[in-house]
Amino acid sequence: MTPLLRFDAVALRRGGRLLFEGLSFAMGPGEALQVTGPNGSGKSSLLRLAAGLLCAESGRIDRSTLALADDNVALDRELALARALRFWGGPVDPAMEAVGIAHLAGVPVRLLSSGQLKRATLARAVASGAPLWLLDEPLNALDREGTERLAGIVERHRASGGAVVAASHQPLPGKWRTLELGA
């Protein structure tokens, strides 16, 4: 089995501070990993490192095609939601349906609430078709229904051979391996 994500003895320094070193793990198809730890421990930085947006101080990272869903909505605020999502490609309509925002397809992104923006960001990941999803605080701004939908899309993604790494302070629904930073 080829891992979708592998960290081998990785160290990361940000702002002159060593966040972690010697970090090794692998994520195979169907796996889910929740990264936990106190504020500032490097959870979001780990995801950005996994996405290739940061450089490790040492070690090696191997990754498959991935989708990152973080606080950067990455959608044109002036466009209607469906059109903004289409910029990223993939099957947008089923993704919006999966996260419960299909009824907002014609609404400009700038008019969406925080919870709707979180769902739009998750829809972007769903539509990507990427085997590896990196989710930063995926429950932030989600209501109960949004949380239930997230659990469903993560389970379907895993069942189809995808993997998910999520950084979260909150317990995530479903079964997750845990990696605690700053402990």
Closest by alpha carbon to 165, among 143, 137, 138, 134?
134
Residue-level pLDDT at 183: 61
Residue-level pLDDT at 2: 87
Residue-level pLDDT at 182: 86
User: How much is the pTM?
Assistant: 0.95
Output the CA–CA distances (angstroms, integers) from residue 76 to 50, 67, 79, 138, in the order listed: 25, 18, 6, 20
pLDDT along the chain (183 residues), means of 10: 94 94 97 95 96 97 97 95 95 97 98 97 97 97 95 97 96 93 80
Closest by alpha carbon to 81, among 100, 55, 59?
100
Q: Identify the CATH assignment for 68-175 out of 1.10.4160.10, 3.40.50.300, 3.40.50.11540, 3.90.600.10.
A: 3.40.50.300
- CATH 3.40.50.300 boundaries in the chain: 68-175
